[in-house]
């Protein structure tokens, strides 16, 4: 089978550092921290009292009031970012075959806010089962993909992907695979998450996964810093329009970059901790390079998983050194989670967008909040600390790893005819 080439023709985002792609990119370049004290609920009794929220968000600025009420916050984000991406790609009712346009979309957790509200209301009542009729359709993981397809009438492949924090990278890879084997011409893909709630923060606090740096939230997400103490929760959505090259050329679409390849592996080690030597991470980067028919020396930039956890950051660097060897010292490495926080099931999509923009703009976004070198990490590696760097980026690799040992990597490269 001759595999089709796949390109990116549209992008959309709503994030803690900007509610459009341009604002998101401006925030990344300037090293903006999206972290602050939580405003969505009373967090005063929690161990962690901060997160990277989407600021000043009113869904009725984007959606009809009646429609917004039927959607969980995560699905609202998904529709808003999808609208930006579809418009950016120039997709109209007349220039695509709707039977050949699909939606493969991800979330790590889905409608947790809706679930919490409905179960709390029931628990505080008299036992009479009074539930909102939209409870289940607002909560379920696949509903974002469903709403996107219904909004535009896209009738191609449509499903949701969940693999914890690797979810939206897996969705991108699934979309890439469906297009290159000819099952669709275009797929709207990416991920969305909105779980900054009592259940979300409380649950992650109970696992001791979150930073508790309440005295200085702006700098709490500090990947690769010796004093990192856990990740910072984020929320938002990232959307990519993937399209076969021949279809994009036929309709005169602009092309951001090409999707070169992707890989997926498992640690098979622990429910939350990474393999200490980064075995799954090493294998997934090797798989992505093999799928792309590329050598380690072809990669210029890695947007790492880099969550700011003591174990995870070290294991990922070990994996990078294992795969890239001496070339690791020529790479730029950065964790944009230092700015956006960890957006869980949306993280992979937002970090793929960071790679796409790095490839198209030749600018590496920084890893902010670095203060103290970690002696476990090689100081000769370029972690792009605290300031963006200009560099020709021909190819970028994005890593995402999820609870359960799920690993996914995708490679984006400059488009060349």
pLDDT higher than 90, residue 93: no
342 is catalytic: yes
Mean pLDDT, all residues of the chain: 97
Q: For residues 205 and 27, is the Cβ–Cβ distance under 8 A?
A: no
Two tokens, residue 260? 């070169």
| Residue-level length of the chain | 417
Percent of the chain with pLDDT over 70: 100
CA separation (Å) from 150 to 87, 102, 199, 262?
16, 11, 30, 28
Q: Which helix or strand (DSSP H or E) is residue 350 part of?
A: helix 347-361
Report which of 282, 285, 303 is spatially closest to residue 367, judged by C-alpha positions: 303
Task: Determine the average pLDDT of the residues in 285-309.
Answer: 98
Cα 102-104-108 angle, rounded to 5 deg? 165
Q: Structural domains in the chain?
A: 6-250 (3.40.47.10), 261-413 (3.40.47.10)
Predicted local distance difference test score (pLDDT) of residue 186: 98
**What angle, rounded to 10 degrees, do the helices at 279-292 and 310-324 form?**
40
Coil, strand or helix at 178: helix
- Report the Cα 85 to chain-centroid distance in Å: 15
What local confidence, expressed as pLDDT, does residue 202 receive? Answer: 98
Structure tokens at 80: 């808003």
Residue given tokens 């947007």 in the structure block: 303
165 is catalytic: yes
| Average pLDDT estimate for 168-189 | 98
Relative to beta strand 301-303, strand 332-334 is parallel
Q: Which two tokens stand for residue 253?
A: 């679409």
The H or E element containing residue 115 is helix 112-123
Which positions ≥6 away from 157 have C-beta within 8 Å?
102, 103, 104, 178, 183, 184, 187
pTM: 0.98
Average pLDDT over residues 289-295: 98
pLDDT tops 90 at residue 218: yes
Q: pLDDT, tens digit, for every residue of 99-135? A: 999 999 999 999 999 999 999 999 999 999 999 999 9
Are residues 293 and 389 in contact, defined by beta-carbon separation less than 8 angstroms?
A: no
- Give the angle subtended at the CA of 401 by the CAs of 396 and 402, to the nearest 5°: 150
State yes or no: pLDDT of 1 exceeds 80. no
Task: Name the 3-class secondary structure at 163.
Answer: strand
Q: In 3D, which of 251, 117, 239, 217 has the Cα closest to residue 171?
A: 239
One of 165, 257, 343, 355 is an active-site residue; which one?
A: 165
Phi/psi of residue 413, each to 5°? Answer: -135, 160
Under 8 Å between Cβ of 394 and 413: yes
Given 342, 343, 355, 406, the catalytic residue: 342
The H-or-E segment that residue 303 falls in is strand 301-303
Q: What 8-state DSSP symbol labels residue 298? A: G
pLDDT in tens, 344-359: 999 999 999 999 999 9
Rg of the chain, C-alpha, whole Å: 20
Annotated catalytic residue within 147, 305, 370, 406: 305
Half-sphere exposure of 57 (CA within 13 A, CB side): 24
- Residue corresponding to tokens 């709503």: 14
Q: Looking at residue 169, what is its pLDDT?
A: 98
* Over residues 206-230, mean pLDDT: 98
pLDDT exceeds 80 at position 38: yes
Identify the pLDDT of residue 417: 87
The answer on pLDDT for 259 being more than 90 is yes
Give the C-alpha separation, 193 to 140, whole Å: 12
Per-residue pLDDT band at 150 (split at 50, 70, 90):
very high
For the residues 383-394, what does the mean pLDDT come to?
98
Residue 8 is inside which H or E element, if any?
A: strand 6-14
């Amino acid at each position: 089978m001759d595999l089709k080439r796949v390109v990116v023709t549209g992008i959309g985002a709503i994030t803690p550092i900007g509610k459009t792609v341009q604002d998101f990119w401006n925030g990344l370049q300037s090293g903006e921290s999206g972290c602050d004290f939580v405003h969505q609920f009373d967090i005063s009794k929690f161990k962690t009292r901060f997160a990277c929220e989407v600021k000043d968000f009113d869904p009725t600025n984007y959606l009809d009031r009646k429609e917004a009420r039927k959607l969980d916050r995560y699905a609202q984000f998904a529709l808003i970012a999808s609208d930006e991406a579809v418009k950016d790609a120039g997709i109209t009712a007349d220039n695509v075959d709707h039977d050949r346009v699909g939606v493969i979309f991800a979330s790590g957790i889905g409608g947790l806010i809706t679930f919490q509200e409905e179960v709390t209301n029931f628990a505080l009542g008299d036992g009479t089962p009074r539930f909102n009729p939209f409870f289940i359709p607002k909560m379920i993981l696949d509903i974002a993909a469903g709403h996107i397809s219904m909004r535009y009438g896209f009738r191609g492949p449509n499903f949701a992907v969940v693999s914890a924090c690797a979810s939206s990278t897996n969705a991108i890879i699934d979309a890439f695979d469906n297009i290159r084997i000819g099952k669709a011409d275009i797929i709207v893909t990416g991920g969305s998450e909105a779980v900054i709630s009592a259940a979300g923060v409380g649950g992650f606090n109970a696992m001791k996964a979150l930073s508790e740096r309440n005295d200085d939230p702006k700098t709490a997400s500090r990947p690769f810093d010796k004093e990192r103490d856990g990740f910072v929760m984020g929320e938002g959505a990232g959307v990519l329009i993937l399209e076969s090259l021949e279809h994009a050329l036929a309709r005169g679409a602009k092309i951001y970059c090409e999707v070169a390849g992707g890989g997926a592996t498992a640690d098979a080690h622990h429910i939350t901790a990474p393999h200490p030597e980064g075995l799954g991470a090493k294998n997934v980067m090797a798989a992505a390079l093999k799928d792309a028919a590329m050598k380690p020396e072809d990669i210029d930039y890695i947007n790492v998983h880099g969550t700011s956890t003591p174990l995870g950051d070290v294991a990922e660097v070990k994996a990078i050194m294992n795969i890239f060897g001496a070339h690791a010292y020529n790479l730029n490495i950065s964790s944009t989670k230092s700015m956006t926080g960890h957006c869980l099931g949306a993280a992979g999509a937002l970090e793929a967008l960071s790679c796409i923009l790095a490839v198209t703009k030749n600018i590496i976004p920084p890893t902010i909040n670095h203060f103290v070198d970690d002696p476990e990490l090689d100081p000769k590696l370029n972690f792009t600390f605290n300031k963006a760097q200009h560099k020709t980026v021909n190819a970028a690799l994005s890593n995402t790893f999820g609870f359960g040992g799920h690993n996914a990597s995708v490679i984006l490269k400059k488009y060349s005819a």
